[in-house]
């Protein structure tokens, strides 16, 4: 016969003893005593094993924790400046390594300068001619003016000389302006960096004709990335949660954390410095912009990252480790320690999760002690070897 448990064995022995007619009363009593002693020893051994099991508990305490929401954002440079060809011509060369850091004033491109240099010389000659003509007409005007005073020449002759002189002065001004314009156009043949930043990939190669459509007009982009901007969209409900604290509760006062695509946290905190003036009626979100210091140029335009923003706080909430809470058919319970060091099941209501903790909204009080480690080992009305978990 196969007996699975101790109880089955005891029951079998009892039935055997009581069913045996050949045993006298002394033998029967002796057999029963032996069986009871064996059963008692096994029960004592089981109790000792339960008391040696270690159960870790934690005391429920009040805490204030921030409500952090996460949004997907796109990183852009503080300034994205297009580098344009402002004059037409063949690209003579470019003088940078793509992707390198350049300083304001550094030479980037040279568009063939010879035609524009010749234009400058032509304008210089025209200005010189205008200046000579102005001197000549001025002398004639000065010579005719006293003669007209003594009626040696007619008023018409004086008016003619006056008009010629003023026209010469005007021609000199025009020639000077044309010269300055030519010099400006010539300067455009040497394309320089307007600000410090990272230069991108060039859209025009050496020898290409640039400066007029359909040929390249924008030669490159320069990103000013010592400060990086992150734009993201916040739902209207979160926005209202942030500002519900009153007029002095400003979104920009909250520190912002950035989690990169490899799940690493960016080493600098950001601050919100821009919030759009309207909420999209299509998505129910509002555009937010945060700025981050970027001294090592880790953040680059076009990257995506997760933005963590504090949208509220839980004041004096009761928190327990998530591992302390068990879910059963949509309901939650914990094991709470009684005064006699035994444990009982307690149903609770849970709120939001905060890291590894769970907010308990109903069912527990400050000072309650719940199981943190060893939930599967708990049995009703059994005492265990208890240790307290101390939070750092």
Q: 307 with 71: CB under 8 angstroms?
A: yes
Which pLDDT score, from 0 to 100, does residue 73 have?
Answer: 96
The stretch 369-392 carries a mean pLDDT of 80
List, for residues 333-379, the tens digit of each pLDDT value. 999 988 888 888 899 999 888 888 889 999 998 999 998 888 888 88
Q: CA 102, CA 196: separation in Å to the nearest integer?
A: 6
Q: CA 129, CA 122: separation in Å to the nearest integer?
A: 11
Handedness of CA 187, 189, 191, 194 (dihedral sign): positive
Which pLDDT score, from 0 to 100, does residue 35 have?
Answer: 52
Q: What is the 3-state secondary structure (H, E, C) of 241-261?
A: HHHCCCCCCCHHHCEEEEECC
Structural tokens at position 320: 């327990």
137 vs 5, higher pLDDT: 137
Which pLDDT score, from 0 to 100, does residue 2 have?
Answer: 47
Structural tokens at position 219: 């030669």
Kindly tell me the burial class for residue 85, based on how many C-beta atoms sit within 10 Å of its own C-beta (0-12, 13-18, 19 or more).
buried
List, for residues 169-192, the tens digit of each pLDDT value. 999 999 999 999 999 999 999 999
List, for residues 218-262, the tens digit of each pLDDT value. 999 999 888 999 999 999 988 888 777 544 455 656 679 999 999
pTM (2 decimals)? Answer: 0.61
Structural tokens at position 128: 């010189």
21 CB-near residues (< 8 Å, 6+ apart) = none
Which pLDDT score, from 0 to 100, does residue 123 have?
Answer: 96
The stretch 94-119 carries a mean pLDDT of 95
323 vs 178, higher pLDDT: 178
Q: 286 with 280: CB under 8 angstroms?
A: yes
The stretch 128-157 carries a mean pLDDT of 90
């Amino acid at each position: 016969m196969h007996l699975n448990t101790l109880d089955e064995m005891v029951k079998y022995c009892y039935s055997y003893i009581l069913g045996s007619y050949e045993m006298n009363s002394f033998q029967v009593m002796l057999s029963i005593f032996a069986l009871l002693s064996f059963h008692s020893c096994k029960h004592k051994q089981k109790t000792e094993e339960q008391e040696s099991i270690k159960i870790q508990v934690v005391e429920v305490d009040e805490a204030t924790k921030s409500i952090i929401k996460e949004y997907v954002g796109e990183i852009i440079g503080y300034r994205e400046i297009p580098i344009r060809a402002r004059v037409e011509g063949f690209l003579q060369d470019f003088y940078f390594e793509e992707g390198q850091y350049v300083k304001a004033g550094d030479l980037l491109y040279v568009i063939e300068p010879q035609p524009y240099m010749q234009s400058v010389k032509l304008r210089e000659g025209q200005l010189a001619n205008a200046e000579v003509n102005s001197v000549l007409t001025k002398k004639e005007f000065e010579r005719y003016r006293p003669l007209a005073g003594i009626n040696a020449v007619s008023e018409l002759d004086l008016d003619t000389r006056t008009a010629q002189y003023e026209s010469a002065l005007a021609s000199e001004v025009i020639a000077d302006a044309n010269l300055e314009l030519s010099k400006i156009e010539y300067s455009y043949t040497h394309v320089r960096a307007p600000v410090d930043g990272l230069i991108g990939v060039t859209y025009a190669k050496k020898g290409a004709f640039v400066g007029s459509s359909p040929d390249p007009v924008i030669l490159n982009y320069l990103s000013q990335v010592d400060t990086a901007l992150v734009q993201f969209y916040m739902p209207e409900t979160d926005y209202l949660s942030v500002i519900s604290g009153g007029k002095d509760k400003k979104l920009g006062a909250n520190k912002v954390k950035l989690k990169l695509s490899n799940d690493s946290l960016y080493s600098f905190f950001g601050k919100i410095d821009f919030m759009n003036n309207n909420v999209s009626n299509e998505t129910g979100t509002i555009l937010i912009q945060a700025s981050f210091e970027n001294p090592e140029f880790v953040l680059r335009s076009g990257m995506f990252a997760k933005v963590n923003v504090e949208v509220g706080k839980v004041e004096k909430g009761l928190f327990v480790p998530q591992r302390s809470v068990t879910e059963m058919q949509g309901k939650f319970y914990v094991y709470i320690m009684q005064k006699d060091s035994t444990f009982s099941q307690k149903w609770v209501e849970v709120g939001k999760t905060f890291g590894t903790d769970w907010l308990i909204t109903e069912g527990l009080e400050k000072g309650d002690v719940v199981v943190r480690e060893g939930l599967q080992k708990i049995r009703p009305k059994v005492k265990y070897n208890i240790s307290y978990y101390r939070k750092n």
